[in-house]
Amino acid sequence: MAELAPYAVSEGNTRGRKVAEDAPQGRSEFQRDRDRIIHSGAFRRLEYKTQVFVNHEGDLFRTRLTHSIEVAQIARSIARRLRLNEDLAEAISLAHDLGHTPFGHAGQDALNACMKTHGGFEHNLQSLRVVDKLEERYAEFDGLNLCFETREGILKHCSADNAAKLGEVGERFLNNRRPSLEAQVANLADEIAYNNHDVDDGLRSGLITLEQLEAVPLVAKQLKEVRLAYPGLPERRVVHETVRRMINTLVTDLIRQSESNIRSQIPVTLEDVRNAPAMIAYSPEINEQQRALKNFLRIHLYRHYRVLRMSAKAQRIIGDLFGVFMADSRLLPPQFQSLAEHGLARAVADYIAGMTDRYAIREHRRIFAVEEGV
Ligand code: MG
């Protein structure tokens, strides 16, 4: 492997872990972070959480687990090409969605509404809370005791109020500094992954069509080339070949533009990266095109009436569960009753956020359906 760029995060410039530990044997600090994330309970639950489609709707749709693996794959390719710390980019990618509620965006909005007078709910902050506190797997500390740079990368956005409460990891939001390039890579890899797999899943579900997508330049260009090069290719393969080329276009453009940004900013150290403007970016032309795709998906897929119907159900389930536990905390499982001693609403939010789609549906039945076991 090529040597790391001097401004990449390394074992030499990491701010380390909250609780000091012996150096790992036979793997790097960031490989250890990745391994801890993979062995966490929250990571396994990603298999049964979804982003757009609810888990029982079909076996071929992305789950948060396969999404996170796709993000890691894209982030690693980019990090390697830019001589950044591939292990760190991978660890951030695998952990970035750990704090997500069941039922994707609808679930997050519902829980945030429930928590409005209790400090709100934000999935980014919750991902950090999972790795810092909620995972109970180690004898010597709460959470996973990850390196600062991994935690910093997980915290993608944050309000000033919340940042002020977070200490070191929140500081950059208060003094307008950037995270590591590895965190910037993971952030954009997330976007590349979901924009493209939502096109694929959206087409498979029949909620959007190829004809509609011909109005989106990023798709239209690749689609036209595929149809020209392979006349008579079956539609499913046309879709896969098109999506594959879209990912490639975005990744290639991102690498080229980021290399050029790095050349003009000439960072020498990790500190320079933090003080410079964001360097991981698309070219203006591709940025425009990927925004148009995002916009298309928002209008035609995320706001499709069938997606909205499922979202409405999800919101009802989460609202009902929140209400019932707030009214009587004795209905919570014992582990969350003890968490509730430090604040009931946050403990209820932790419990609900940790649920998978199907667990939330089942828990709702257990509590509200008389004929169901408890
Ligand atoms: Mg994501």
* pLDDT exceeds 80 at position 54: no
Ligand 1 centroid distance, CA of 157 (Å):
13
pLDDT tens sequence across 282-300: 999 999 999 999 999 999 9
Residues 299 and 238 in one domain: yes
Does residue 336 lie within any of the structural domains?
Answer: yes
Does residue 9 lie within any of the structural domains?
Answer: no
Q: Which of 308, 338, 358 is the last residue of a domain?
A: 308
Ligand 1 centroid distance, CA of 286 (Å):
20
Residues 127 and 268 in one domain: yes
Q: Which of 277, 308, 339 is the last residue of a domain?
A: 308
pLDDT tens sequence across 136-171: 999 999 999 999 999 999 999 888 999 999 999 999
Pairwise CA distance, residues 183 & 168, whole Å: 16
Residues 229 and 328 in one domain: no
Nearest to 242 by CA among 216, 206, 207, 264: 216
Ligand 1 centroid distance, CA of 168 (Å):
24
Does residue 231 lie within any of the structural domains?
Answer: yes
* pLDDT exceeds 90 at position 51: no
Residues 144 and 240 in one domain: yes
Ligand 1 centroid distance, CA of 138 (Å):
26
How far is residue 173 from each of residues 35, 131, 158, 309, measured CA to CA in Å? 28, 20, 7, 36
Does residue 117 lie within any of the structural domains?
Answer: yes
Q: How many domains does the chain have?
A: 2
Residue 147 β-bridge partners: 17
Ligand 1 centroid distance, CA of 35 (Å):
19
Does residue 16 lie within any of the structural domains?
Answer: no
Pairwise CA distance, residues 145 & 330, whole Å: 31
Ligand 1 centroid distance, CA of 71 (Å):
7
Residues 336 and 232 in one domain: no
Length of the chain, in residues: 374
Using a pLDDT cut of 70, give the percent of the chain over it: 98
Ligand 1 centroid distance, CA of 308 (Å):
20
Residues 127 and 149 in one domain: yes
Ligand 1 centroid distance, CA of 295 (Å):
17
Ligand 1 centroid distance, CA of 229 (Å):
33
pLDDT tens sequence across 115-134: 999 999 999 999 999 999 99
Phi, psi (degrees; rounded to nearest 5) at 17: -105, 155
Does residue 14 lie within any of the structural domains?
Answer: no
pLDDT tens sequence across 2-22: 799 999 999 999 999 999 999
Q: Which of 283, 308, 333 is the last residue of a domain?
A: 308
Ligand 1 centroid distance, CA of 93 (Å):
8
Residues 304 and 340 in one domain: no
Q: What number is the average pLDDT over the span 187-210?
A: 94
Residues 282 and 321 in one domain: no
Does residue 50 lie within any of the structural domains?
Answer: yes
CATH code of 177's domain: 1.10.3210.10
Collapsing DSSP to helix, strand or coil, 63 comes out as coil
Ligand 1 centroid distance, CA of 358 (Å):
20
Residues 45 and 176 in one domain: yes
What pLDDT does residue 59 have? Answer: 63
What pLDDT does residue 2 have? Answer: 72
Both tokens assigned to 143? 């959470």
Q: What number is the average pLDDT over the span 311-340?
A: 94
Ligand 1 centroid distance, CA of 68 (Å):
6
Ligand 1 centroid distance, CA of 44 (Å):
15
How far is residue 232 from each of residues 118, 228, 242, measured CA to CA in Å? 57, 9, 14
Residues 187 and 327 in one domain: no
Residues 339 and 246 in one domain: no
Ligand 1 centroid distance, CA of 345 (Å):
25
* pLDDT exceeds 80 at position 65: yes
Residue 361 lies in domain: 310-368
Ligand 1 centroid distance, CA of 190 (Å):
5
Pairwise CA distance, residues 119 & 132, whole Å: 18
Ligand 1 centroid distance, CA of 106 (Å):
14
Ligand 1 centroid distance, CA of 23 (Å):
30
Token match 């919101």: residue? 315
- Burial (CB < 10 A; 0-12, 13-18, 19+), residue 261, is middle
Pairwise CA distance, residues 98 & 111, whole Å: 16
Does residue 120 lie within any of the structural domains?
Answer: yes
Residues 259 and 345 in one domain: no
- pTM of the full structure: 0.96
